């Protein structure tokens, strides 16, 4: 869905339309009723519209005219945004940022890769479509990861220690929410699975922390190196976790 300045909340969530034949209102779902919603240039629309997605992203449900409609359990949002200094953009509310699991900054690809994109354009367009993953397969995979990738209690302690360290840092005005720690656990399990392990390790925390934590924090004026702050606050809890697992 292309996010534009003239977008309205109802354009996303859906609206109730009066049916003269039935003499009643009928709800017509918006594009948010999907398995995957791709929000292109999300920060070009107003904060009011962005906030309309909070309930869907946090609770997987939408409430319109005092009626709550459930979204599918595999629902999630992928969004792109323009740089904040670009004209016509709005900053995303902190509450909405907290509902995005990852924030990944994309830079220009290297020269050889860019040449390859141009050289293989027709070949990629003509390539047969890859096999699609069925919804039930995705749900089953989630259950398998949750059940068989072990998360030691020391991992939970480490995450809380990192969060508390960030909240108490002198250059951090607003630290991590408990929501971010809850969402971090399945992300760590998935990272471990992709690395061929059935347990979460310090490597997973060290790798994912910048992508999960950085966009959720507000820094004090004059502090701009958020990656350094995150790494600094990770050091002691990760060292403690390593000693616990080795003992």
CATH number of the structural domain spanning residue 58: 3.40.50.300
Number of domains in the chain: 2
pLDDT at residue 48, rounded to an integer: 84
Q: Is the domain of 64 the same as that of 175?
A: no
Residue 118 lies in a domain: no
Residue 122 lies in a domain: no
Residue 126 lies in a domain: no
Q: Is the domain of 169 the same as that of 219?
A: yes
| Three-state secondary structure call for residue 174 | strand
Residue 113 lies in a domain: no
pLDDT at residue 85, rounded to an integer: 62
Residue 111 lies in a domain: no
Residue 15 lies in a domain: yes
Q: Domain boundary residue among 84, 100, 116?
A: 100
- Following DSSP, what letter does each residue of 73-112 receive, concatenated? TT-EEEE----TTSTT--PPPHHHHTT-S------PPPHH
Q: Is the domain of 158 the same as that of 242?
A: yes
Please list the ranges in the chain whose pLDDT falls under 70: 84-86, 246-247
Q: Domain boundary residue among 58, 82, 100?
A: 100
Residue 117 lies in a domain: no
Q: Is the domain of 160 the same as that of 221?
A: yes
List phi, psi (to 5°) of 34.
-145, 170
Q: Tens digit of pLDDT for each residue in 16-36? A: 898 888 888 889 999 999 999
Q: Is the domain of 153 the same as that of 246?
A: yes
Q: Is the domain of 138 the same as that of 246?
A: yes
The HSE-up count of residue 48 (CA atoms within 13 Å, CB side) is 7
Rounded to whole angstroms, the Cα distance separating 83 from 77 reads: 19
Q: Is the domain of 146 the same as that of 240?
A: yes
Please report, in angstroms and rounded to a whole number, the separation of the first and last CA atoms in the chain.
51
Residue 147 lies in a domain: yes
Q: Which parts of the chain are beta strand (E)?
A: 14-19, 24-29, 36-39, 61-64, 67-70, 76-79, 172-174, 218-219
Contact 192, 201 (CB under 8 A): yes
Domain that holds residue 22: 1-100
Predicted model pTM? 0.86
Q: Which CATH number characterizes residue 224's domain?
A: 1.10.8.80
Rounded to whole angstroms, the Cα distance separating 167 from 173 reads: 8
């Amino acid at each position: 869905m292309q996010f534009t300045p003239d977008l309205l909340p109802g354009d996303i969530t859906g609206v109730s339309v009066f049916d003269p034949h039935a003499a009643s209102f009928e709800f017509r779902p918006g594009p948010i009723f999907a398995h995957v919603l791709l929000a292109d240039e999300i920060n070009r629309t107003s904060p009011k519209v962005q906030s309309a997605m909070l309930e869907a992203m946090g609770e997987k449900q939408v409430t319109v005219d005092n009626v709550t409609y459930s979204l599918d359990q595999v629902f999630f949002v992928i969004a792109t945004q323009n740089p904040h200094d670009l004209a016509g953009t709005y900053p995303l509310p902190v509450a909405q940022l907290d509902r995005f699991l990852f924030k990944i900054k994309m830079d220009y690809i290297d020269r050889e890769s860019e040449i390859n994109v141009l050289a293989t354009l027709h070949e990629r367009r003509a390539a047969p479509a890859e096999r699609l993953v069925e919804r039930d397969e995705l749900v089953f995979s989630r259950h398998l990861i949750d059940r068989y990738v072990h998360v030691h209690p020391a991992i939970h302690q480490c995450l809380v220690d990192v969060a508390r360290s960030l909240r108490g840092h002198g250059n951090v005005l607003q630290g991590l929410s408990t929501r971010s720690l809850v969402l971090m656990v399945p992300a760590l399990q998935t990272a471990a699975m992709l690395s061929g392990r059935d347990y979460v390790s310090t490597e997973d925390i060290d790798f994912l922390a910048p992508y999960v934590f950085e966009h959720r924090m507000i820094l004090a004026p004059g502090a701009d190196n958020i990656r350094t702050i995150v790494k600094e606050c990770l050091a002691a809890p990760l060292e403690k976790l390593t000693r616990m697992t080795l003992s």
